[in-house]
Amino acid sequence: MNKSFFPLLAGTCSLLLSFAGVASAQQHEAVSNPPFALLHGPYLQEVTTEAATVVYETSDKAFSWVEVKPHGAADEEARRCLTSRDGLFDAYNAFGSVRIHNLQPASQYDYRIVSKQMLQFQPYKVTFGDSITTPWYTFSTINPKKKGASIFVTSDIHGDAAKLEKLLQLADYRSCDAFFYAGDMMNYINSHELPFTSFIDSSVKLFASSIPFEVVRGNHETRGNMARSYSTYFPKENGKIYGSYLLGDVMIVMLDSGEDKREDHWVYAGLTNFDAYRSEQAEWLKQLIQTEAYRKARYRIIISHFPMVMDTQWKEEKEWYGWDDAIRKFLPVLNEANVDLLVSGHTHRYFYHEKGSDGNRFPVLKQGHDSAARLELHDGKIHLKVIDTKGTILKEAIL
Ligand SMILES: [Fe+2]
């Protein structure tokens, strides 16, 4: 045998082994580094007659923007929307939101997210990686002339996303115009992923890329070492968690009732300031109910995590200072505000308090932790239906 064959064979094997090594490394890289992608969302927040916010998260740090166009228009008609702060576009972030302005009322739009992965972000060198462009999603701005609404409300999901999906299905979410979560959708917030796995991802799967959900904070969502990032998931132009939402002739007021115990309770470790916060909201509420928008609304619905009544059983159990403080500060204002219905959670027990049952001049629904309410607002009346996870109708009434 030609002796020179062996080195050649050895060289070939080396080359083959070398190729195998590269292939193996690439496979390993493919396993350890999944392709750049959209990780969460997009979901809509604070859609009004002329604006909407898109929230998203990519799998890696990136430079992202939203493209928006009238529904069905050519791609070339899309305009680019970015978040700009102090002269700099948001960049080198995975989680982000973009407020789209200058929309027309009662109009349909298509939007998509375009994102460029940022591999390096040095002072004088930026290296982009892969790019993604999502499919187009469609949404509508609020129609100020719309009469009535079909509204879904639930609360106290406490991280059980499957339960949320079940309740949405049972309440026929496809025919709802608006979705409100009345607090305690999580037990606490101690990781960035938790809000997504608890309820945001499920909402996106079913509707939230096209119709926004609005959140009212529950007392559990004030707990945990990431509770202070709560509002970044649900951004509002005014930076507040509480607020009002006008859907045509329906005024929704969202109160943030805070914690249920005294500020000096050991659970809070001296880190809460809810007494002052509730006072601030009460003053805001007094002003809101004097506005033309509030007074002219045909329906006025309040959503609050704490019910604005506390039945005897709870009063006797122990002192609930924070809950009581919310009632003391909000109820007198609400009693003068021609409220049609207050929807709440917190107690985990369904109960319907008739108007006038405990100093309340409007009915108060406590929907329980295994149920959801559907409100049909038509012809000046509220058709209320409360359904639990077994499909049992707990309440059906016309208010
Ligand atoms: Fe709860």
* C-alpha 378 to ligand 1 mean position (Å): 30
* CA of residue 270 to ligand 1 center, whole Å: 22
pLDDT value at residue 33: 77
Q: 348 C-alpha vs ligand 1 centroid, how far in Å?
A: 6
What is the residue extent of each domain of the chain?
38-140, 149-398
pLDDT of residue 30: 47
pLDDT value for 245: 94
Fold for 149-398, please state it.
Purple Acid Phosphatase; chain A, domain 2 (3.60.21)
How many Å lie between the centroid of ligand 1 and the Cα of residue 258?
A: 12
Ligand 1 mean position, distance from CA 376 (Å): 25
User: Would you give per-residue pLDDT tens digits along the chain (399 residues)?
Assistant: 333 333 333 333 333 334 344 444 445 444 567 899 999 999 999 999 999 999 999 999 999 999 999 999 999 999 999 999 999 999 999 999 999 999 999 999 999 999 999 999 999 999 999 999 999 999 999 999 999 999 999 999 999 999 999 999 999 999 999 999 999 999 999 999 999 999 999 999 999 999 999 999 999 999 999 999 999 999 999 999 999 999 999 999 999 999 988 888 898 999 999 999 999 999 999 999 999 999 999 999 999 999 999 877 777 777 789 999 999 999 999 999 999 999 999 999 999 999 999 999 999 999 899 999 999 999 999 999 999 999 999 999 999
CA of 320 to the centre of ligand 1 (A): 14
Its pTM stands at: 0.90
Give the residue among 183, 297, 293, 284 at the shortest CA–CA distance from 243: 284
- Expressed in angstroms and rounded, the spacing between residue 67 Cα and the centre of ligand 1 is 38
* Gap from CA of 70 to ligand 1 centroid (Å): 41
- Could you tell me the distance, in angstroms and rounded to a whole number, from the CA of residue 345 to the centre of ligand 1? 7
pLDDT score, position 31: 55
- Tell me if the domain spanning 38-140 has CATH number 3.40.50.11540: no
pLDDT of residue 11: 37
CA 155 to ligand 1 center in whole angstroms: 7
Q: Which residues surround ligand 1, an ion (CB under 5 A)?
A: 156, 184
* Per-residue confidence (pLDDT) for residue 32, from 0 to 100: 65
Counting beta carbons within 10 angstroms of the beta carbon of residue 232, is it exposed (0 to 12), middle (13 to 18) or buried (19 or more)?
middle
Let me know if the fold of 38-140 is the same as that of 149-398: no
Task: State the distance from the centre of ligand 1 to the C-alpha of 289, rounded, in angstroms.
Answer: 28
Place of tokens 């008609």: 77
Q: What is the pLDDT of residue 318?
A: 72
pLDDT at position 262 is 87
